[in-house]
Each structure stands twice: as structure tokens, then as C-alpha cells.
Chain A
Amino acid sequence: MEFPAALFPSYFDVGPPREEGGPAPVAGWGEHGQVLEGGPGRRQVQPAFVPRRGATGERWEAADAAAVPVLLPSEDCWIPSPAPQDILYRSSLCRKLQPGKSGATLDFARQLGHFFVDHPEDAFGSLGRLLHKNFYLGNAKLKVIVSRNSTIRMTALVEDIDRLEARRGCPRQHLAPRLRWFSHLCRDWLFEVPLGLLADCLHEELTQQWSSLLFDDSLTGGALAWLPPEDGVTSVGRLVHPGGQALNHLYFQDVVLEELPHTRGSPAQFELSGRIQQVAAARVDGQDFVGVRSDYHCGVWRVPGKTRAAPAPLQVIRTDVPASCLTVSPHLPGELSVCTQSGTVYLWSIETGLQQLRHDPQTMFFRDHSPWRWSDFTAHPRVLSCADRTGLQCLDARAPKRCHFDLFKVGEEAGCQQGERVVLPMYLGRAHPSQHLVTTQFSVYVLDERLPLVPVLKWAHMMKAPPLFAHVMPGKQGRSHKVLLGASRTQELLLLQYRDSFWGVSSGGSQSACQLVGTPQKLHSIAGCLQHLPTQLPHRHHLLQQRLTAPAAGLAATLQEDEPHKSMLIFQLSEAGDVFCQRLTHKAAQPPAPTSRDEATTAPGSSPLFEAPASSPHGLGALRYRRWLRALSRACREPARHTWLPSLSQRRLFTRRDLEGPAGPSSLQRQMHQRLRQTMQEGGCIQCWEPLALQPPPLPQTLEPAGGPDPLSTRLTAAWAGDWEQWWEERSSFSVAQRQRALRERRRRQKRAQGRRSLSASFTSSLTYQSELSELSDMGPSLLSPGRPPILSQEGSPPAGSPPVHSPPASPAPDEALLSSQSLRCRGIPKERRKTLRDYLSVWAEGPPEPPEPLGSQASQLCIPSSQSQLSSASQPRRKRPRMGF
């Protein structure tokens, strides 16, 4: 391979990076970088210049609106990995979590509690058995005198604990003395494992979980591989992917590449003893070698190319320290390189075993705490590249101590930013024998071994999460090479093209300096299909969302060049074990075609995936989705009983009293509630609990239909049966009529009462009262249509007067529409009042509404989101009325 005759100009400095870093949202746009003079012939009238970035590339367009599942979801249900809300202290979730800042508070106490509940045998086994006769947990009083001497009633203690849980986050929370007394007494002897030791271990685990939530580098490289068909003769390739509940099964699945790739036959399956973190593959001499890495084991399989024979496991090694890298040599059969987190690099040959090339717990160029190491092959089969977060070095396996050179350094040499770190290095041998790809969290570099330290290409990729996966598809005969970058947590996929010969096939495609061509292109992520799927029941939607937004775990792709329509197939693996696929089709070079179609199809709301007829390829995708959804719901139904219901405990939604029966709280209780709320709002204390004398008599529960089962149980019955929607229709039409009657009734009463009102009541407030009521009575069923169920649900669902379930008054979308200045202007609200109004309304848009006041004022709340907003601004002074009366 020739070395380019001239490279793009660049400065070369040494030392640590000087440029202040940080994620720059658009740093990759609008720059040519440098230009290079070089034309087809030197004897031209005008010199021709080519840019480093910005030349036209190939046009690839997505064939479908979303990625489509390739495999059906596996039988066993997937257990999602912990999310931030699982291990963070609850109140700190409200604060925005900023990446890089370790201000997060981990919920240590809750996790320890979980441990005690989930593993009582391990926590208190022996003493529990010894003492269980002496602890009594019943409600009844202890009567037998004999047992009384040696038995304690623990019920009160348990109640105290429950209460503690309920008061979580309250600033006035005091430890119950009884609890303190108990824990003081038994802290030293009750626990099977000494508490301090247990806490240390738990804390360590928690911080580790948290750091892996922020950035999990064990997945580097990705756990998905595509073994292309032999010489492109057939269209059957093999997908190597992990599966099973713990991702510890390795599958070799035959896949037929057609319009949409589909599986053929059942896969070859191997059960491994650890979660599969990485699957690497390379083809040597017509055979595929597949390396599989889990934390403490690495294995290698051979897949004979031609006969489609079964894959054969060749060798397994075990490591004491987790392995962080496994790559397969593209040069020699049965050679791999392995790195462990202790900083050791091995060359692993099936025939001769392991050869240690380097052992250095320190990083290479400057100190960095990360134990992550990587290694890959280079153009010379005996020279390996070794990487840590600070850079790359190449070393000769024949004399690793003496022969080595620096290939890439995080520093001024490559124009890096401060804080930049290597995320994934990759040998680009299939595209160019001496080029390497290096990704960092900010940029992507292409390096040439023959010119170390100076990147031949650099581009800020602008991805939100560091690219952990990469895949290269070589462009033959002077066409551009395609590089796919994938991130894990955000599932981002980015397609780049670069070229190392300017003039294409026509002039022989001689080597020239590397150019980034075309524009980077974002591809569909797995989660992107969510908006195209048919509407689901809320809990199923949540399940689906959780499943589809699981972090990506691997990436593979293949080019199909033999057809008239060249296409590219991209497979993406998620941590849930799902493999999704998307097809890009190549558009022949043409002037920018009317892109209106693309721009229209991606408009929110439209879902071409499901609108297309079944005969078209889009319809095929829809069919595939339906099948996948059905299989998913089947697979998740069984465990749903175990995992779903307890986690959505009823106790969180309803108080015990709600569940007991329809009887509303007494008037006294309601008064107390009100007082409590008021005091909490003012931040005061309640000194004495004597009921105040001046309280209006409680209003009769006019809104509830008499007789029949109570609404809560009918609603729940309907919801479990699945026809909740129908119940809602009936309910809403019924309750609208009911409420209208009730309102009319109340209006009559209030009119009567107004006559007796004292003159001290302000004139304006009574005026607004009037107008409000007149508007209310005009409000017919058309305004309170079932199109806005959330508004009604606040009123209609719980028994009136009981502490209501707090649901937001309206979905955020209409509120935002309401808040936009344009819509306010449309409503004829003067400019100076728009802000007041917006501020006021934003209260409703943000969180749960303020605790509803007794029924008397609920009418005004009811109409805020639905009726004209002028009304709500008018109701503002009215809220202060009680004070004015004092």
C-alpha cells in the first residue's frame, strides 16, 4: 500500500493538551479543516483543491422508518439492570444529574434494608432462629403470663418502622425513641455478619454500580458479530449474539439476507458460565474465529466457512482479574490478544498458549485511574497495539520490552482536549492495512502506523455518550469506507464515510491523504421505534419502553454490493438481548433530490411503519413488529405476577383506608387534614389539636351515586379485566351529567348565601365569582369531552372528600400549548399579563396540583385547564379571600 504523496498541512506540538475541553454540541460542523492541492493532472490551468472534510460522499438512505426486530424475544423474561432511581437517594433525584459531577447521594440505607428483607437467613439466620420464640408479631395483647416473661410484642416496633418509611424526606423527621432504643440494644449481636463489615461491602458495591451506571466500559467492543457469507456467493450469513436471562448463552444463528433479514433454522447454542461482554470475530483463510469475553473467562470458537458446519469451541482461558479486551487476529488463524484489568497484555495462540507481552498496572503516558486496557493487531502480524485511556503503543511480540513505538497520545500531538480519554481503539485492517481508528468521548481519529502520533483524520463526533462500539465496512475500488460508531446508554448510531484515494476508480484510485466525505448520518436507534408502535396500555407501554430503551450492547453491519440496489444492513444488540436491524439503501449520485418526503415522514405523530399495506416492505416490518410484540407480551406475562405487581404496590397508590371501604373520612378528619396542610404550607407547628369552632358544616357527598358497588372497586375490576376504557366512557358521561346537576344545585345555594354576605367582602371578588359561575353553567358536555380524561379523573375517581390520588391536572402537552405566548396572544391576553399568567399556569404544568381545598372551591380548579385561561387568572385574587376575611 502506497503512502500518500502529500498530507494535509498541520502543526505538530508536543506536551499535554492545551485546549480546554468539554462536550461541544456542534464542534464537528462547518469546517473544512485544511485543503490540499492536488488535481488529476499537474499541468492544469487552475490548481484544484480538495478539503479534508466536506467533499461529497455517497448517499445512503434509511429504507424504513424504524429498526425492525430480527429475533423473537427469548422465552425467559429480562431483568433490567439497575437504573439511577434504584440506587440514588430519592430526594436527590429531583436535582438534575449532571454527568461528571459526583454530587449524587446513594441510597445506602434502602439497599441495606433490601438486603435484610431479601436475605434474612444470611443477615440474621442463627439469632433469628434462637429468638423467634421470644418475638411476638400479632395484633392481640399478650395474655399468657408464662410467656409474658420471655416474649416481647414487636408489633409497635414494626408500626414505627412503617411510619418512618412514610415520613421519608420530611424535614421534621425524628427517630422514634423505641426504634433507637432497640437498635442500640441489638446492633452488636443481632447480625450474622458484623454490621460494619456488611456496610463496607455494600457501600463498595453501590459505588461500583453507580460508576458503571455513569460509564460502563466492560461492554467495550460490543457483543454482536456478523459472519458474512463465504465470498458473497450465498445470502446466508451468521449472527453471533448473546442471549438468555443473564446473557450467558452464546448463539450462532443463520440469517438469510433478503429485503428484511430473517432467521433460518435453530441456532447453535452454548451455555457459558458468565455474562458475555464481548464477541469479536475475524476471518482468516476462509474460516471465522470468534472470541468471546466474559469477566473471568475468554473462549474461542472456530466456524468453518464453507460447509456451514457447526461452530467448534477450541479453547477457554480463565483470568483472575476481569479481562477488558479480546481481539482476534485477522492475519493468523487461532491467534487472539487478551488484556486484563491488572494491566497485562497477552498474545494468545491456540497452539502455543499464552505469551505475556506486557505487565504494567500504571498507564502509559500520564496517570489515569482507569484499569481498562485494550489491545489489537496491526499491519505486522507480530506487532500488537496496546492501549489504555491515555494512548496507544505498538509493541513487537518477538521483543516486547525493546521494540515499541508510540502510536497515539492524548496530548497536543493529536490536538486533543483536556480531559479527553481513549474509549475504543480499532484496527482498520479490512479497509487499509496500516490504519487504526481511535475514538474518544469527543472525537474520532484515524491513525496511520507509518506516521505515528499525527492523526491522518480527526473529527469531533458530537455524540452524547462515548462511542463504545465501532464497525468498519471497507469500500472497494476507491469508494469511501464506512465507519459506524455506536454508544451504549443512549443507543446512538452514527455513520461516517472516509476516503483514502481522491480520484476514484477512473484514475486508478491511487493513495492519497485521508478525507472525511459526506455528512455524518444518524441512524435509527432501537428506542426510536417506540413512537411508531400502536398505542399500548400504560403498564405495557412502560414495560415496552423499558425494554426498548435498554442500553445498546453491540453493533454489526454488512454491505451488500452485488445487487442492483446496493444496501447496508445494520444490526444493533441491546442489553435485553434483542437484535434489531435496519437497512440503508444507496442512492446513486444525484443532485440533492427533493427531501420533502424525508422531512415529512419524520414529523411527530406520523408512523409510516404501521400505515403501509402488508404487501410492501414497510408492511413486512410492521408484521415483524406485531409478532415481536406478541411474543414479548407472552414471555412477560408469567413473571408479571411475580415482579410486576409487588413493585407497583397498592400501598403506595392508596392509603389503607382507601382500600378498606368507601366510607369517607369524618368531618373532623377533614378539618384536621386541612389544618395540617395549611400549617405545612406555612411551615409552622401545630401546638394543640383542639378542633376549631368555626368550621363550615361538611357538604353532602352529592357526586357519588347511591347504591351499587363503590366506584373504586368497579374501576379496579374493570381495569384488571382490560376494558377500563369502556368503563371510563360510561363513567365520564355519567359523571358529567351528575356534576352539572350538582353544580347547579350549589350555585342556587350560593346565590342564597350571597344575600347574607357581609359588605366587607370585596366587590371585585364577588364580581369574579359571578362571571365564573356564569361561565361554568354554560359549560356543556362538549367542553368536558372524554378527550381530556385527566381533568375529570381528579374529580371522579376517588370517593369525594377522601385524600385524592394526585394525578397531574392535565397532560403536559396542552398546558404547554396554553403557555406559549402565541396561544396567549390568540386568546387576546394583553402582553403585560401574559407573564403573570404563564407563571401562574406553570405551577400546574410542573407538578401535582396543590391539595384540593374542600369542595367549595373545587369548581374553580375544575375549570382551569379546560375553560378559557382568563378565568383562571381572575380566580387568583379569590384564592386569597380567606385571609382578607380575617
Chain B
Amino acid sequence: SSNEHKLNFKKSKEACLNYIQDALLQKQWKRAAEFLTCYVESLEKDYSREHIGPSELIWRIGTEILWHHSQSNMKEFNCFMEQMKTLGVKRYLKVCLEHVFHLLCNGQIDEAYQNLSLAESWRFGEQTAIQDKEMKMIQAYRGLLDYCSWSKQKNILLEHGEDGFSDLAVEQEMHGYFRKAAVNLKEIIKIPGVWDVFVRCYVDLLEFYGDHNEARQVLNEYAYNSKFPANPNAHVYLYQFLKRQGESKKSLISALKILHDIVPSHELMIDFNTMLQKSKKREKRRVGLEVIFATLDYAGWKENAKAWSCLSRQVKQIVISEKHLDWIKQEWNSRKDWWPAFHFSRYLAKRNWQENKSLSYEKALVAGILLGKGLFFF
């Protein structure tokens, strides 16, 4: 009969969970809270071998309710989180991290920092792979908060510096923050992942202290290491860094060329096109034409007046100079079966004219050149 008891217990537990789920999905936080107080009983006799145990269930549901319940407050939330942390060893770091996120979103930066420091010093037996990742994440976020403090101190110093007054203690403190932030940030960006925020902060630190080589290395690694995902932002950061450093056009172009290969529809392609168009080399101008054509292939650019003006300017230039008309022909050959319907339909002509006259002019010019006599854009 103990088996039967277990079965009954399981059944009522499931029913209770269903009620909670139902209430949550209908935003009935009070009802959900009442059911949850009953569900807590399931902690006592945890027979389940499921992938999410009751303690995690309670943590998740409780958090969700406390986020939305009209009578909850931050103090209660913190108290609940502390209890949840002690409920399961396996999830300690995860709960800590989530707690910190909530504090951060509510502007309690100092409390969040304390929690991060506490979590970082936590040790329990051998760490699993997931816990290892979570620990690294905790350290990275602490690095981020250290960076924020550093940046605050820096601003104070800069303001004071303008008055011709420097505070040694503040400066000392700032350097302290730098060291702490740099150590943690450096660690996480070695691991494959998307670390836009961390990379940006780390590069900012390095640039401030004049370590440009290290910064360049970090950005190159982030952009070109094949273990990392093909993140357009990595290339954007590198390009921006090179621009700040006043690098040659050539290296800027090569950085953007790679971005073009990954994401032909990136908004930097307009800059890229302008840069190439200004170039004296014939080949580069040709690439510029390819770039702007490729950009306008994408639905997101369909009504972008800037892109159309880039194209019309270059096409006009080519037609007037009567050189390299074959460039246009080549580009057009692969598009002639679908660009007319995609860009130059009668319906679009009418709508563009109503909505954006300048766009309409640019498109009409391009259409006139590309479609020749069979023009029906107007």
C-alpha cells in the first residue's frame, strides 16, 4: 500500500501542478500562490526521478509569482531566493545568477555585486561542467560590475581633471577596479561564445591604459577564431577599433570585406560602398557596385532611400562616363528575372511615390537605366 500511497501522492501532486500552471498562464498570481503553498508539501516526499525536481519547480514558480504578484516586494523576493539557494546544491549557482539578474534589473547594483562575490566563493565538491560554466558567468558579471565602477570613477576623475585637481585616492581605487575587472573579463572571452558586452568593456579598459596591441589581439581573436559563432558584431567592433586607431583605408576595407562576406545586408555596407566608390582603383569601385547591389537584394533594404541613392549615384556615374557598362550588365543579369517584380512593380511605384518622394526619384532613375525601354515604373 505504500506503493499505492506513492501513486496517489504523485497524482495529487500532478493535479496541483496543473492548477498552478493554469493559473500562471492566465496571470492569476494570487491563485497560483495559494496552490504553490500546497505544493510545497511535495518537497517532503520527493519520490520523483524527473528531470526537473520539485525544488526547482518551486524555485521557478515562486520566482515567477513574486515577479508579478501585486503584494510582493524586493525584501520578500530576496528572502525567498535565499531559501531557494539552500534547497539544492546542484542549482545553487544558477539561482544565485538569476537572483543577481533580478537585482540588476531593479537597479540594486551594490546588492548584486555582494551576491556575486558570495557566489564566487562558494565551493561544493567537484564542479560539473554546467556549474563550471555558471561560475565563469558569475565571474564575468562581477567583472562587468567592476568595469561599471571603474567607468564611474573615471568619469569623476575626468570631471575633476578639468578643474585641475586630481584625487589620488580615487585614482588608486579606479586602478583597483581595473585590475579586478580585467582579470575576470579576460577569462570569459577566451571561451567560445557571444560576449559582446564583455569584449566591449575589456577593450575599453585596454584602450584607456594604452594597451592597443592586446586590444587588437582580443578583437581579432573574437572576430576570426573559427570556434566562435559568426557574430557580425565581432567584425563591427574590430572595424570601429581600427577606425579609432586611424588605420589605413586598406585595412578598414579588408575588415569590412569580411563582414560583407558574412552579412551582405549589414548596415555598415553603406559605409563600405561609399569608401569603395571614392577609391581610385577600378577593382574597388567594381566591388562597391557589387556590394550595393547585394544589399538591395534584401527585403530589409527595399525602401531604404540611402541605399538607393548610393546605387543611383554609382550607376549614373558609370553611365555618364560610359566606362564599365558591362559591370552593370553583369550585376543585372543575375537579377533581371526578379528585380522588376521585387523593386519596380507598378504597385510599389505608386506607394513609394505616396510615401517617400526622394526614394521614388532614386528608384526611378535606377529603373530607367536598368529596365531601359520597357520601363513601367512610372
Contacts and interface: CB of A to CB of B under 8 A. Distances in A.
Bind each other: yes
A595 B27 contact: yes
Contact of A595 (B30, B64, B230): B30
A519 B265 contact: no
A434 B137 CA distance: 29
Interface string A500-535: 000000000000000000011110000000000000
Interface stretch (B205-213, B319-327, B342-350, B360-368): B342-350
A382 B341 CA distance: 13
A31 B60 contact: yes
A298 to B, nearest CB: 21
Nearest to A383: B297
B233 A5 contact: yes
Interface residues of A, number: 72
B107 A379 contact: no
A21 B51 contact: yes
A48 interface: yes
Given A31-B98, A379-B300, A26 B57 contact: yes
A31 B60 CA distance: 7
A503 to B, nearest CB: 15
A620 interface: no
B25 A49 contact: no
Contacts of B61: 26, 29-30
Contact of A9 (B26, B148, B196): B196
Contacts of A285: 345-348
Contacts of A22: 50-51
B59 interface: yes
Given A32-B102, A380-B297, A25 B109 contact: no
A35 B67 contact: no
A3 B232 contact: yes
Contact of B27 (A33, A34, A521, A839): A521
Nearest to B101: A32
B63 interface: yes
B338 A381 contact: yes
A779 interface: no
B202 interface: no
Contacts of A453: 229-230
Interface in B17-73: 17, 20-22, 24-31, 50-52, 57, 59-64, 67-68, 70
Interface string A30-55: 11111111000001011111110011
A45 B155 CA distance: 10
Nearest to B337: A352
A2 B269 CA distance: 11
A8 B63 CA distance: 21
Given A3-B266, A433-B298, A26 B193 contact: no
Contacts of B253: none
Interface centre among B17, B28, B228 (most CB of A within 10 A): B28
Contacts, number: 194
A35 B101 CA distance: 6
A450 B234 CA distance: 12
Interface string B208-251: 00000000000000000001111111001000000000000000
B192 A51 contact: no
Contact of B144 (A24, A32, A37, A398): A37
A8 B236 CA distance: 16
Given A9-B195, A519-B24, A592-B68, A3 B233 contact: yes
Contacts of B300: 1, 379, 433-434
Interface string A376-390: 000111100000000
B107 A37 contact: no
A11 B104 contact: no
Given A12-B193, A433-B300, A26 B233 contact: no
A398 B334 contact: yes
Contacts of B64: 29-30, 519
Interface centre among B29, B229, B230, B301 (most CB of A within 10 A): B229
B107 A12 contact: no
A9 B105 contact: no
Nearest to B348: A285
B160 interface: no
Given A462-B21, A595-B29, A13 B197 contact: no
Given A9-B194, A10-B193, A3 B267 contact: yes
Contacts of A450: 232, 262-263, 265-266
B284 to A, nearest CB: 24
A610 B198 CA distance: 58
Interface string B95-119: 0001001101101010000000000
B179 interface: no
Nearest to A433: B300
B299 interface: yes
B94 to A, nearest CB: 9
A379 B232 contact: no
B376 to A, nearest CB: 13
A27 B229 CA distance: 26
A331 interface: yes
B200 interface: yes
Contact of A331 (B26, B342, B346): B342
B49 to A, nearest CB: 11
A454 B230 CA distance: 9
A271 interface: no
A200 interface: no
Contact of B140 (A9, A286, A591): A9
B297 A598 contact: no
Contacts of A1: 265, 267, 300-301
A333 interface: yes
A832 interface: no
A299 interface: no
8 contacts: A1-B267, A7-B196, A7-B231, A9-B188, A30-B67, A32-B102, A43-B155, A434-B300
Which 4 pairs of residues, A with B, have the shortest CB-CB distance? Answer: A30-B63, A522-B25, A433-B300, A30-B60
Given A24-B51, A379-B265, A595-B70, 15 more contacts: A12-B194, A12-B229, A21-B51, A24-B50, A25-B17, A30-B61, A31-B98, A286-B347, A379-B300, A380-B299, A450-B266, A454-B229, A454-B231, A521-B26, A522-B25
